[in-house]
Amino acid sequence: MVQSELLSSFKHEKNKRFSLLQIWNDDDQDEFLKLILTDYLNYWTGKYSLEEIKKFSNLNDFDINGIKQQFIDAFATDFQNFSLKVEGLETKKLEIKKVLDSEIKVKVISIELKIASDSSLLAEEIFNFSIKKIKNLQKRNELLENEIQELREQKNEAVESLRECVNEKEAMEFDLYSKFVQILNEKKSKIRELAKSDE
C-alpha cells in the first residue's frame, strides 16, 4: 500500500497552535485521506474517499494528484504561497487556497472534520506516528554519521597519500637537482680542461 504521512504544526486563530496529521492512502479509494487535527485540548478527525476529495476540491484548476500535492505543500512549507482558514467548534472547516497573486487566491480544498468524542485513540495515533518518525530519523542520522565517518577516513587517507606524493616529488626533485648539479660541475671541469689544453 502506498501511504504518505505528514505531521504539521501551525498557528492560526489568534496564534492558537494546531497540529494536523495527514495520512494519504493512494491504493485505498474508500479511505484516500485521513486527517487528525488537534489544538492539544480537542481533536477533530475525518476520513475521506477519493470521490469525496474530488467533491471538496477544485478540480477545475488541479487534478487529484495536484490537489494532494498542494495540500501537502501547504502544510510542509508553513503556508508559503497558501492561505488557510480554520473555523468552527464541533465541526472544524479547513480551507486551503493557493495564493497566485496578492489579490488572486484559488481554492484548493475545503474539508470538514468532526470533533472526536474519545480523543485517546487519536492522540495515540499522533504519538505513534511521532515515535515512528523519530526512530526513522534516528536510523537516518546513524546512517549519515557512518557515512560522515567513512568520508572522514577517506579524506584522511587522501591527505596522507597526498603528503606521501609531495614528499616523493620533493625527494625526486632533490635527487634530479643533485644529479644535474653534479653533471653541470663535471661539464664545467671538462670545459676548463679543454680550454687549458687549447692554450
Check if CATH label 2.170.210.20 holds for domain 3-117. Answer: yes
Confidence of residue 2 (pLDDT cuts 50, 70, 90): low
CB environment 12-40: b (16+ within 10 A), e (fewer): eeeeeebbbbbbbbeebeeebbbbbbbee
C-beta neighbour count of 155 within 10 angstroms: 10
Which pLDDT score is estimated for 75? Answer: 84
Q: What is the 3-state secondary structure (H, E, C) of 164-176?
A: HHHHHHHHHHHHH
Helices marked H in the chain: 50-56, 64-76, 120-198
Q: Model confidence over 126-147: pLDDT tens digits?
A: 999 999 999 999 999 999 999 9
Q: Model confidence over 10-60: pLDDT tens digits?
A: 887 678 889 999 999 988 888 899 999 999 899 999 999 988 888 888 777
Q: Model confidence over 117-126: pLDDT tens digits?
A: 888 989 999 9
